[in-house]
Amino acid sequence: MANREKNKKTLLELAKLPENSCCADCGAADPDWASYTLGIFVCLNCSGTHRNLSTISRIKSIRLDFWDDELVQFMKSNGNRAAKNFYEKYVPVFYYQPQPDDCEVLREQWIRAKYERKEFTEEKTERPYTAGVYEGMLWKKGKDNGQFLERKFVLSVHDFTLKYYKEDESKGPKATISVKGLNATFQPEKIGHAHGLQITYSVDDHTRNLFVYHKNGWEIVNWFNAIRAIRHVYLKTAFPTASDGDLIPWITRSYLKEGYMEKTGPLREPFKKRWFILDSLDRKLLYFKTQLDAIELGVVFIGSENHGYSVRECVPKGTRGNKWKCGVIVETPDRQFVFMCEQERDQREWVEALKTVISKPMMPQDYTSKIITLLIRCHGGCHFPH
């Protein structure tokens, strides 16, 4: 008969080993669950997906459930490192591997790709998202009426573009988007769909957004990785001497901080509520009228401390029109920006996020970004008071 306490102690010791101390699927620390058919330790969130793969993966708690001796021995003989070496042997360098805070569809499809479809156990020259052309239907939010309508999208490595079409394809694409400045990030809460994807790109040095989704989780994650694949090829072409390690952060990225703040214009106009996005890689603080707006209203370049940039909390006096009282002041060499947050927690988070960007030294490409931002401000003055 199995010794319950002895087996529990053995499992807890196994889970503390360096190779098992993080979730096998998302990297979350201190996993409390295990798949006794795959021999891996996983976190609570990922265990939920494993429960939906009952023919492949069977889950138990390492603390609360009873474990037979042979199952404990199986866990000892396997573990996260062995599973990684087998199930992740041929993961493409561009393929996105979820982190603990990522949305459910990314974690679910990563787990299904590894254990159900076994996409990475053999070396393959082609996968759906590496074929060079990826096309299909996505539900896209309309710019004016806000309704989601089905549209055809075509992503091509041959001319490094993403195109989408309206109902009559014979009239050509509604838009042709260069992948040069393309970014994609999952935004299920913002878009209101579990598979919501925000695609961001540049037109005439201004930022635009597309909000799309697909009803099938596998399909939307394929779109995401197809975008990452073509971005990787583009970056390798544009920067042939750069290593994959240098390029990976630039393929796609999540934004450091998003949320509503109130802002005023350069002439101290009344405060207006705006949706802000902090892009730490491009060192830009973008703002939009609402969180689902297609076109930015303005942008603030965030330089480094050595170049005269700083941020601090404040309680501004003599301001007009602001409903919120928790202030954030961003000092730049050119002017002072005043923003108001609804709560102290938001204030602290914005200050910390902005400090993170300001503390980083500027790279050569950042100076180009700064010049473009200044040109936008100089030649599009009406852009800023919004």
Give dist(CA 45, CA 32) in Å, integer: 11
CA distance 258 to 291: 9
Contact call for residues 78 and 72 (beta carbons, < 8 A): no
Q: Average pLDDT over the chain, rounded to whole?
A: 90
Sign of CA dihedral 291, 177, 95, 358: negative
pLDDT in tens, 279-309: 999 999 999 999 999 999 999 999 999 999 9
pLDDT tens digits, residue range 150-206? 999 999 999 999 999 987 777 889 999 999 999 999 999 999 999 999 999 998 888
Q: Which residues pair with 278 in a beta bridge?
A: 257, 285
Give the model's confidence band at 381: pLDDT under 50 very low, under 70 low, under 90 confident, else very high: very low
Residue reference for tokens 């474990």: 67
Contact in structure between 197 and 212 (CB atoms under 8 Å): yes
Lowest-confidence range among 50-59, 164-173, 239-248, 315-324? 315-324
CA angle 178, 184, 189 (to 5 degrees): 145
Nearest to 293 by CA among 140, 143, 138, 139: 143
Measured in residues, the chain has a length of: 386
Choose between 383 and 99: higher pLDDT. 99
Q: Which amino acid, residue 225?
A: N
Tokens, residue 308:
């005269």
- For residues 190-202, b (16+ Cβ closer than 10 Å) or e, as one string? ebebbbbbbbbbb
**Confidence band for 58, pLDDT divided at 50, 70 and 90:** very high
Confidence of residue 383 (pLDDT cuts 50, 70, 90): very low
The whole-number pLDDT of residue 385 equals: 42
Close Cβ partners of 178 (under 8 Å, ≥ 6 residues apart): 160, 161, 201
Q: Hey, what's the torsion of the CAs at 291, 365, 101, 311, to 10 degrees?
A: -70
Q: In whole angstroms, what is the distance from residue 225 CA to residue 94 CA?
A: 7
Angle CA 135–139–145, to nearest 5: 135
pTM of the model: 0.90
pLDDT one-digit tens code per residue, 219-274: 999 999 999 999 999 999 999 999 999 999 999 999 999 999 999 876 667 889 99
Could you read off the pLDDT of 111-142 as tens digits, one per residue? 999 999 999 999 876 788 988 899 999 999 99
* Helix runs in the chain, H state only: 4-16, 44-51, 69-77, 80-87, 104-111, 188-191, 217-238, 244-251, 344-358, 364-379
Q: Is 248 helix (H, G, I), strand (E, B) or coil?
A: helix
The three-state secondary structure class of 77 is: helix
